Structure 1
Amino acid sequence: MGSADNLKIFSGELHLLPQPARPARTSHPQLAQLIARRLGLSLGSSSIVTLPSGELSVTFHESVREADVYIVATAGGMETSSNTALMELCIMAHTLRIASARRITAVLPHFPYARQDKKDKSRAPITAKLIANMLVEGAGIDHVITMDLHASQIQGFFDIPVDKYLYAEPTMLQYLRDTMGKEIQNSVIVSPDAGGAKRASSMAAALDLDFALFHKERKKANEIARMVLVGNVQDKTAILIDDMADTCGTLALAAKHLLSNGAKRVVALVTHGILSGPALKVLNESPLEKLIVSNSIPQEEHKRGCPKLRVIDISHVLAEAVRRSHHGESVSQLFTVVPWTEALADDSYPVSPTPQPAIPPAVLQNIHGAYPITPTKSA
């Protein structure tokens, strides 16, 4: 299939005009940099300029003709809004299409508008379907790679391949085993709602633990009216499992209920740490001991405002998905397996996307013996 020469990874760089202005980064260049490093590649050269009118202008500074191009973008975080990140992605993809790129893949660790996947009231939009149409019909994207998709039916909104069965679960399981030690034997996995029962039961089965769940009723979006615990948490460490944390009201209330029902301590493990609005204040004031999230969304600003926050690096999963996709290999083994395991600690990804020394190929070797596309000499 492909070779390193025609594989390119891009992440936009935002410059604000007119001058004087402070350069800023958009979407998630830290994650893009890590993915590129793990593959022994450098990020493709591109820039995005915000014009005085507020419009975005994209420029690629190298040829992409007949290239297999991967755009790393994400929705959420304090650095940029989901709408800006989405528009940036569409403009970048359209630019690549008219520049004769052979294939364009959007790597979207956190898929935008995933919670608007159905009509839950009269005259409500199905925005996730609109996003799918924008990416495919409008921007010309050929392939989507995403992680822990909130609603699996979103895959059916696309008429192109969508690798949605990438999960942070294997990496998170390893994190729990490595950090909790024997304490994990006296723990219980808890889902904050009935919708996450399948996710929680899967984690519980993998760790050979019991699981519990909450039944919750909402007054309106992001506002919980009542929560009822189903299951026993007495004298155990309760581990809340969810796919995303937004305003964190559910997690805070769940932690309070778990402690009142006899849990010794409560931690939460979430794939996508959106942490919008009052989330950091809610977390800091909650009885939750710590919140563990992946770096699917930029977390540097969040970490400065919340000492309870811990970050797990999932770039190794996405990098291996890119490698397999580029070479036409199966991605299904990544559903349950951690390809590389050296980056589990906090602060495992750089704050700025400046070039870093290449990770040695011996470290990059995954469990199946596959090396990065272009092995590079370690610095």
Structure 2
Amino acid sequence: MRNHEKRSGVKLFALNSNPKLAEEIAQVVGVELSKARIDRFADGEISVHIDESIRGDDVYLIQSTNDPSNDYLMELLIMIDALRRASAESINVVMPYYGYGRQDRKPGPREAITAKVVANMLTQAGIDRLITMELHAPQIQGFFDIPVDHLSATALFANHFLSEGLIGEETVVVSPDHDGVKRAREMAELLDSPLAIIDRRLYQENRPNTYDLVGEVDGKNCILFDDILDTAKTVTKSTQSLKKAGAKDVYVCVTHAVLSGKAVKRLNKSGVKKVVVTNTIDLSKKSATDLIEQLSVAPIFGDAIKRIQNYESIKPLFDMEYVEKLMKK
């Protein structure tokens, strides 16, 4: 067992998925990002070069696995191997967005559980810990036999809406499906607001999907709270259901802004008032829209790293008042 009084040095590395967030996390931790280069051979193969010694250091490797998910995942795996072969004391992957997380079970015969495949690859590559946020299915933590710190953005969002005055009985927190009820209920409790649910039923063929509302929203503002915003089709249909039921303004609140394909165009036509997201995914290459407001999760991840290094609990990171203080530092 390691002597707690002689902690190893700490080094942070950023790969290509979200260098801006990595810089912000490094500032919170109080270190500079360590140097590494990612090159490609003519045929597209990825090559990683670590430009400084990391022997005996605790390394934190920051990389989301959003689109292009396969490239970013391979960068991550190759870098993990390089760190292990360079004698890092520990390899801690900071994965703000866990790609392939939506394939967390077998929806039908002869299909893969890809979230487990990714967990196996990370573990076999040699990581010692995973730090992530808002897994699509929290039970993905059980796919790992190493520590997984599963962080949440709920307190961050709650503080934001509190500052906007969207609280109490005149605001309804809405889950866009049954899977997200627990997440939405936590937000509703923090805002002291009622809860509503979209009973979303998806049919395979010859029958339209349905989006039926369970709850009362007439004359009230709604916060549609989900973990992932991908094509924005669910947001569009859910907003239509809420407006039809008499809702005033609809705010969309999502941790991971994947924004694939025509998502931004759909948002602009959806009738939503505002889309509040985090920066777990870099949006600099996405189509711009005034609808989107981005909150930084760097203080949460940075504080988590400091707490892990100091052998402290990360429980305060789920407290609304504590997170509010972090954001003001």
The aligned counterpart of 1:170 is 155
Name the CA distance, whole Å, in 2 between partners of 1:98 and 1:234: 60
Counterpart check, 1:119 vs 2:106 = yes
Is contact 1:46-1:59 (8 Å) kept? yes
Counterpart check, 1:336 vs 2:319 = yes
Specify whether residues 37 and 215 from structure 1 end up closer, same or farther in structure 2 by C-alpha distance, changes over 3 A only. same
Counterpart check, 1:228 vs 2:212 = yes
The aligned counterpart of 1:56 is 46
Q: 2:68 aligns with which of 81, 87, 100?
A: 81
Q: 2:196 aligns with which of 212, 225, 229?
A: 212
The aligned counterpart of 2:293 is 310
Name the CA distance, whole Å, in 2 between partners of 1:237 and 1:158: 40
Bigger relative contact order, structure 1 or 2, given CA contacts below 8 A and separation 6+?
1
Counterpart AA for 1:328? Y
Is contact 2:167-2:192 (8 Å) kept? no
Deviation at 1:220?
5.0
Is contact 2:167-2:191 (8 Å) kept? no
Q: Percent sequence identity over matched residues?
A: 39
Counterpart AA for 2:36? S
Q: 2:165 aligns with which of 181, 184, 199?
A: 181
Deviation at 1:201?
1.3
Counterpart AA for 2:237? L
Deviation at 1:185?
5.2
The aligned counterpart of 2:143 is 157
Q: 2:36 aligns with which of 37, 46, 54?
A: 46
SS of aligned partner of 1:292: strand
Counterpart AA for 1:174? N
Deviations 1:310-346 (A, max 9, x none): 10111100001111111211112212346454786xx
Specify whether residues 283 and 321 from structure 1 end up closer, same or farther in structure 2 by C-alpha distance, changes over 3 A only. same
After superposing the two structures, state which structure 1 stretch, 330-339 or 169-178, moved more.
330-339
Counterpart check, 1:255 vs 2:239 = yes
Aligned length: 325
Deviations 1:12-36 (A, max 9, x none): 2xxxxxxxxxxxxx21111110000
Name the CA distance, whole Å, in 2 between partners of 1:3 and 1:306: 49
Counterpart check, 1:104 vs 2:91 = yes
Is contact 1:217-1:224 (8 Å) kept? no
Counterpart check, 1:141 vs 2:122 = no
SS of aligned partner of 1:297: coil
Normalised by the length of structure 1, the TM-score is 0.82
Is contact 2:239-2:250 (8 Å) kept? yes
Name the CA distance, whole Å, in 1 between partners of 2:233 and 2:103: 19
Counterpart check, 1:243 vs 2:243 = no
Counterpart AA for 1:311? Q
Normalised by the length of structure 2, the TM-score is 0.94
SS of aligned partner of 2:209: strand
SS of aligned partner of 2:44: coil
Deviation at 1:211?
1.1
Deviations 1:22-65 (A, max 9, x none): xxxx2111111000011111001111011111011101111000
Name the CA distance, whole Å, in 1 between partners of 2:165 and 2:237: 27
Counterpart AA for 2:293? R
SS of aligned partner of 2:237: helix
Deviation at 1:306?
2.0
SS of aligned partner of 2:111: coil
SS of aligned partner of 2:285: helix
SS of aligned partner of 1:71: strand
Counterpart AA for 1:176? F
The aligned counterpart of 1:128 is 115
Specify whether residues 170 and 201 from structure 1 end up closer, same or farther in structure 2 by C-alpha distance, changes over 3 A only. same
Counterpart check, 1:278 vs 2:262 = yes
Counterpart AA for 1:73? Q
Please tell me the root mean square deviation across aligned C-alpha atoms, in Å: 2.0
Name the CA distance, whole Å, in 1 between partners of 2:34 and 2:100: 27
Name the CA distance, whole Å, in 2 between partners of 1:246 and 1:33: 25
